[in-house]
Amino acid sequence: MTEVPEPESLEETYKRLSPYNGDRASAPRPPAPPVAPRVYAAAIPAAMPAVVMPGPLQAAAELPPAEPLPPANRLVPIISVAAVAVALVVAVTLGSVFSVLRSTASDVIAQDPDTAAPSSAPVAPSATPAPAVVDEWTTYPGSAFVDSADVLAAPSQETVVAESEAFLDEFARTLTTDLGVTWTESWSGMLEKGSNGYGGDSMLYDYYSAEMIGTVKLDDPKARQKVRDLLETMTADAGGAELLFSNEAYTGDPAASLEQFGAADVPDQAMWAFYGRDAISPGLSVSSRVYDTNFPTDATFNGDTWFRVDGSRSGMFYVKIQLSTYGLLSEADRDEFEKRLEPYDESAKPPSR
């Protein structure tokens, strides 16, 4: 009877069918070759040698080994340091440019102080501001409006003021006597040194006398004419120029006459006005007005403004007078005035500014 072999175990079957027979199946396997670091696409050479694959079982180890590269974690510090260096260079460059631009803008603004914005005109880098020029006429002791020769030939400031006050006193006394006028001072006047017309101070005086206003309750149609006659007589006695009767200058304009004096015709006008330059002495002007409320007037009549009345005080008579001039030289300043005039050529006097 044929012996039946014992069935082989699973272990024996596995060994028999395994491609690794004998001792090779149980021999320890060699350690796996080290895995090459990952190669980045950017580091792969531009041209790779062609590899012919004879078959699918060609070992991958037969490929040419990749060139070793620094680990990825070493590239990060290098890139960071480079970025910081570039940023510092850009910052320094921009700071220098901004400083230059700011300096240039400041220079342009300084050269154009009359505008709030920088001037649009280009400025040469080497340009220097021109030195300030001081007009010599700013220290001129006289006036652009008066010749110094006339100032020296005219009565002194003290004489003119005294003559003016005497004229006003005589005028007031006469009308008080003739018409019963009562006087008040509406303004005390002014006497002070003025400008020379060239941006500096003058040694000459401007003078305005006190402004006198007289009032009286009166119904006399001839009162206006009495004031006119008195003024013309007094100015003639003082040797002054002819007095101007302002109403007559408007006779060809009825509308203006109505607005200025209260009526179109002189005999019906409530206000008469008088003016004269050089009426008392050279350069001294006189200005006077009279207003009789007994004469009817238009609602827009200027007399109410001149005398500040509301028209309700009918039967009142008003008189106003003031004297004025400029370019007066004090007797005490004469020597100093002549001394300071010496550097100036009066024939080359520029116009006022």
- Taking only the tens of pLDDT, the chain with its 353 residues reads 445 556 666 566 556 655 545 444 444 455 545 545 444 444 444 444 444 444 444 444 444 555 555 454 444 444 444 554 445 444 445 454 444 444 443 443 334 333 343 333 344 445 555 444 446 899 999 999 999 999 999 999 999 999 999 999 999 999 999 999 999 999 999 999 999 999 999 999 999 999 999 999 999 999 999 999 999 999 999 888 889 999 999 998 999 999 899 999 999 999 999 998 887 777 889 999 999 999 988 767 888 788 877 655 778 999 999 999 999 999 999 999 999 999 999 888 999 88
pLDDT value of position 95: 53
Question: Rounded CA gap, 271 and 260, in Å?
Answer: 8
Please count the structural domains in the chain: 1
250 assigned to some structural domain: yes
The verdict on residue 337 lying in a domain is yes
Q: Is residue 28 part of a domain?
A: no
8 A C-beta contact, residue 124 and residue 107:
no
Q: What is the CATH number of the domain that holds 161?
A: 3.30.2030
For residue 228, the model assigns a pLDDT of 96
Digit-coded pLDDT (tens) for 158-188: 999 999 999 999 999 999 999 999 999 999 9
What per-residue confidence (pLDDT) applies to 303?
A: 82
Give the DSSP per-residue string, 53-122.
--STT--GGGSPPPPP---HHHHHHHHHHHHHHHHHHHHHHHHHHHHHHHHHHHHHHHH-TTSSS--SS-
Is residue 109 included in any domain, yes or no? no
Query: What integer pLDDT is reported at residue 207 of this predicted model?
Result: 96
Residue 98 is assigned to a structural domain of this protein: no
Could you give the CA distance from residue 256 to residue 96 in angstroms, rounded to a whole number?
73
Q: Which two tokens stand for residue 165?
A: 């006050």
This prediction has a pTM of 0.60
Q: What is the pLDDT of residue 7?
A: 62
Decide if 334 is inside a domain: yes
Q: What is the pLDDT of residue 185?
A: 93
Predicted local distance difference test score (pLDDT) of residue 9:
62
Report helix, strand or coil for 250: helix
What pLDDT was estimated at residue 24?
Answer: 45
Q: Which domain holds residue 175?
A: 156-344
Q: Is residue 171 assigned to a domain? A: yes
265: DSSP letter: S
The DSSP result for 144-212, as a single string, is: TTB-HHHHHHSPPHHHHHHHHHHHHHHHHHHHHHHH--EEEEEE--EEEEEE-SSSSEEEEEEEEPPEE
DSSP state of 315: T
In a domain? residue 134 = no
